[in-house]
């Protein structure tokens, strides 16, 4: 109890960050599940969402800037897939991965060019940016909103995948890409749809994340992106509940480590965790073992 009392602010922050990582990691896990691609650009799409909000809110009210931020992010995700990944669908997997790195490099450099490398102040979103006290801790309302919103979105997504036709197509493609193509699944539209969902969730995640952290820089997406990917691997890549649970675990642990005064190692911890899970259970918490056919 003592531990919880002194660490309550960190645990709360951890849950909040965990929810934000969860929203990003779903984009990774779904794309990996279907294309077997680590979408290195996903973290940067998240970063662009942050900048879109900064620039849009400078000129327009929130009820316009928030929807437009989401639309821009979704469009970006869609365009990136169409331009950079679709032409390489039959290429070796390493080529697509390199293309993803190229996109990441491109987005970071563009952001750098547009902002001259300066950190931008993230606009205050009223209400969710307000302070609230829970027990002994004072925090922003966004901290409380994040896990709830994450939870709702994840349930909606799971239902979508389970009960709709496109969800079924996604599951089929994750199991066997070629066969589902032969069965008449329109793979290109399903893949686009996957990127759209991933980018949509990343945009929501960025609204919540940057409200917490208040500044956006061109490399702001790199670290959350990597951590979200680790979360996806931790939970068993391809599994949405796995990714969410992994993200919460990483968010909470990381903040407790910060609370203990080991801030330098809060990032290192994530990767130590990755290596541990890869050694102990390479398929992650909820992953299925697959045997390559010889």
Partner 1 sequence: MSEKNRSLNGVITPQRKNEFFKSVLGFIRKNWVGFALIAAMFAVIFILEQILPSSSMLFVVLKKGAIYALVAVSMNLLNGFTGLFSLGQAGFMLIGSYTYAIFTIPLEARDAVYQYFNGGIIKFTVPVPVALIMAGLAAAIFAYLIGLPVLRLKSDYLAIATLGFAEIIRAVFQWDKLGPVTNGSNLLKRFPSFSSTLYPFFVSGICITIIVLLINSSYGRAFKAIRDDEIAAEAMGINLAKHKQLSFTISSFFAGVGGALLAMYQTTVQAAAFKSSMTYEILLIVVIGGIGSVTGSILSSFLFIASSEWWLRFLDDETYIGSFRVPLLASGFRKVVFSIVIMIVVLFYRQGIMGTKEISVDAILRFFRKLFGKESREEAA
> Any contact of residue 95 with partner 1 (CB under 8 A)?
yes
Nearer to partner 1 by C-beta: 36 or 171? Answer: 36
> Any contact of residue 110 with partner 1 (CB under 8 A)?
yes
Which pairs with CB-CB distance under 8 Å and at least 24 residues apart come from 262-271? 267/223, 267/227, 270/226, 270/227, 270/230, 271/230
Sites for partner 1 among residues 220-239 (CB under 8 A):
222-223, 226, 229-230, 233
Q: Residue 36: phi, psi to the nearest 5?
A: 55, 40
Quick note: the x/- pattern for partner 1 over 247-276, rule CB under 8 A, is -----------------xx-xx-xxx-xx-
Q: CB of 49 within 8 A of CB of 224?
A: no
Q: CB of 246 within 8 A of CB of 235?
A: yes
Q: In angstroms, give the least distance from the CB of 115 to partner 1.
A: 9
Quick note: the x/- pattern for partner 1 over 34-73, rule CB under 8 A, is --x-x-----------------------------------
What is the C-alpha separation between 52 and 107, in angstroms, rounded?
13
Q: In angstroms, give the least distance from the CB of 111 to partner 1.
A: 9
Nearer to partner 1 by C-beta: 135 or 282? Answer: 282
Q: CB of 136 within 8 A of CB of 5?
A: yes
Out of 76, 103, 247, 249, the residue judged to bind partner 1 by CB under 8 A: 103
**Span from 9-17, 44-52, 69-77, 83-91 in contact with partner 1 (CB under 8 A):** 83-91
Q: Where are the alpha helices (DSSP H) in the chain?
A: 2-35, 42-59, 62-80, 93-115, 141-163, 165-175, 177-182, 187-213, 222-235, 240-259, 264-280
Q: What is the 3-state secondary structure (H, E, C) of 251-289?
A: HHHHHHHHHCCCCHHHHHHHHHHHHHHHHHCCCCCCCCC
> Any contact of residue 117 with partner 1 (CB under 8 A)?
yes
> Any contact of residue 102 with partner 1 (CB under 8 A)?
yes
Q: Which residues of this chain interact with partner 1, rule CB under 8 A?
A: 36, 38, 83-84, 87-88, 91, 94-95, 97-99, 101-106, 108-110, 112-113, 116-117, 219, 222-223, 226, 229-230, 233, 264-265, 267-268, 270-272, 274-275, 278-279, 282, 292, 294
């Amino acid at each position: 109890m003592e531990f919880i009392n002194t660490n309550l602010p960190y645990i709360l922050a951890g849950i909040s960050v965990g929810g934000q990582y969860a929203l990003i990691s779903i984009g990774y896990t779904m794309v990996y599940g279907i294309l077997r691609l680590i979408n290195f650009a996903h973290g940067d799409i998240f970063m662009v969402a942050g900048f879109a909000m900064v620039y849009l809110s400078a000129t327009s009210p929130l009820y316009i800037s928030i929807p437009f931020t989401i639309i821009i992010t979704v469009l970006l995700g869609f365009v990136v897939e169409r331009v950079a990944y679709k032409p390489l669908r039959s290429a070796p997997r390493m080529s697509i991965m390199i293309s993803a790195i190229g996109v990441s490099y491109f987005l970071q450099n563009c952001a750098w060019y547009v902002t001259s490398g300066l950190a931008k102040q993230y606009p205050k979103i009223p209400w969710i940016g307000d302070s609230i006290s829970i027990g002994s801790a004072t925090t922003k309302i966004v901290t409380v909103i994040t896990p709830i919103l994450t939870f709702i979105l994840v349930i909606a997504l799971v239902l979508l995948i389970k009960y709709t036709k496109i969800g079924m197509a996604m599951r089929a493609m994750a199991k066997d890409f070629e066969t589902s193509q032969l069965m008449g699944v329109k793979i290109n539209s399903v893949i686009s749809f996957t990127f759209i969902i991933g980018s949509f969730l990343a945009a929501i995640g960025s609204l919540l994340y940057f409200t917490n952290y208040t500044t956006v820089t061109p490399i702001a997406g790199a670290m959350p992106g990597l951590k979200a990917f680790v979360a996806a691997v931790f939970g068993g890549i391809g599994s949405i509940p796995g990714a969410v649970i992994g993200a919460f675990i990483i968010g909470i642990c990381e903040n407790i480590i910060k609370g203990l005064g080991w801030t330098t190692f809060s990032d290192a911890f994530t990767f130590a965790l990755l290596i541990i899970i890869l050694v102990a259970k390479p398929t992650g918490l909820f992953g299925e073992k697959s045997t390559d056919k010889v």
